[in-house]
C-alpha cells in the first residue's frame, strides 16, 4: 500500500491534519488499539492505542525522510513507517541535535 505522495483522501474524524504538507496526523482524542481507522482513504488497524496529541503516519514514510508537522520538519524517520503506524520516539530522531553536528562538520547549518 506504499504511496509516496500525500494524497488527500477520506480520513477518520478523530485525526487532525495540521498542515497540507504534513506526513503525520494527530489524534484529536484517545483511539483504541485494534480499531480500524480510515487514513487518507486506506483502512488501517492501529496496533496500539493512540492518545490525544500522538501522531500516526499519513502515508508511507521512507527511512531518512523528514517527519513533517505544521508543514515543518520535526525530525526524520530512522526506519520506514507504514501508513497509520504510530510515529514517535521509536522511529523518529530529532533533526535538531544532528543539525548541530552538521554545523560543526560543515561550518554551516542546513535545515
Partner 1 sequence: MSDIPASEMQGWLREDGRKGIRNVVAVAYLVECAHHVAREISLPLREDGVHLIGFPGCYPNDYALHMMERLCTHPNVGAVLLVSLGCESLDRHRLLRTIKASGRPVELVVIQGTGGTRASIAQGRAWVQQQRWSLDAMPTVPITAADLVIGTVCGGSDGTSGLTGNPAAGIAFDRLIEAGAACIFEETGELIGCEHIMAARAATPALGTLIRESVDKAARYYETMGFGSFAAGNAEGGLTTIEEKSLGAYAKSGSSPIVGLIKPGDIPTQGGLYLLDVVPDGEVRWGFPNISDNAEIVELIACGAHCVLFVTGRGSVVGSAISPVVKICANPDTYRRMADDMDVDAGRILDAGAELAEVGEEIANLVLSLAAGGQTRSEALGHQEFILTYKSFEPSGPACFPA
Question: Applying CB under 8 A, which residues contact partner 1?
Answer: 13, 16, 18-19, 26-29, 51-55, 67, 69-75, 87-89, 92-97, 99, 109, 111
Task: For residues 47 and 104, give the distance between their C-alpha atoms in angstroms, rounded to a whole number.
Answer: 40
Task: For residues 75 and 85, give the distance between their C-alpha atoms in angstroms, rounded to a whole number.
Answer: 16
- Least spacing, CB of residue 19 vs partner 1, in Å: 8
Task: Give the nearer residue to partner 1 in terms of CB position, either 1 or 71.
Answer: 71
- Least spacing, CB of residue 70 vs partner 1, in Å: 5
Question: Please, what is the Cα angle at 80 between 43 and 22, to 5 degrees?
Answer: 65
- Which three cell numbers, joined as nine digits, stand for 17? 491534519
- Least spacing, CB of residue 62 vs partner 1, in Å: 17
Task: Give the nearer residue to partner 1 in terms of CB position, either 1 or 30.
Answer: 30
> Is the separation of the CB atoms in 26 and 55 below 8 Å?
yes
Q: Where are the alpha helices (DSSP H) in 1-111?
A: 95-106
Task: Give the nearer residue to partner 1 in terms of CB position, either 2 or 72.
Answer: 72
- Least spacing, CB of residue 26 vs partner 1, in Å: 6
Amino acid at each position: 500500500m506504499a504511496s509516496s505522495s500525500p494524497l488527500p483522501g477520506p480520513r477518520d474524524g478523530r485525526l487532525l491534519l495540521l498542515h497540507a504538507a504534513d506526513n503525520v496526523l494527530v489524534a484529536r482524542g484517545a483511539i483504541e488499539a485494534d480499531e480500524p481507522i480510515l487514513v487518507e482513504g486506506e483502512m488501517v488497524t492501529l496496533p496500539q492505542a493512540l492518545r490525544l496529541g500522538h501522531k500516526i503516519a499519513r502515508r508511507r514514510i521512507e527511512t531518512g525522510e523528514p517527519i513533517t508537522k505544521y508543514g515543518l520538519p520535526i525530525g526524520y524517520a530512522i526506519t520506514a513507517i507504514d501508513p497509520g503506524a504510530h510515529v514517535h520516539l521509536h522511529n523518529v530522531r530529532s533533526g535538531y541535535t544532528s543539525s548541530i553536528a552538521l554545523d560543526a562538520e560543515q561550518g554551516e547549518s542546513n535545515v
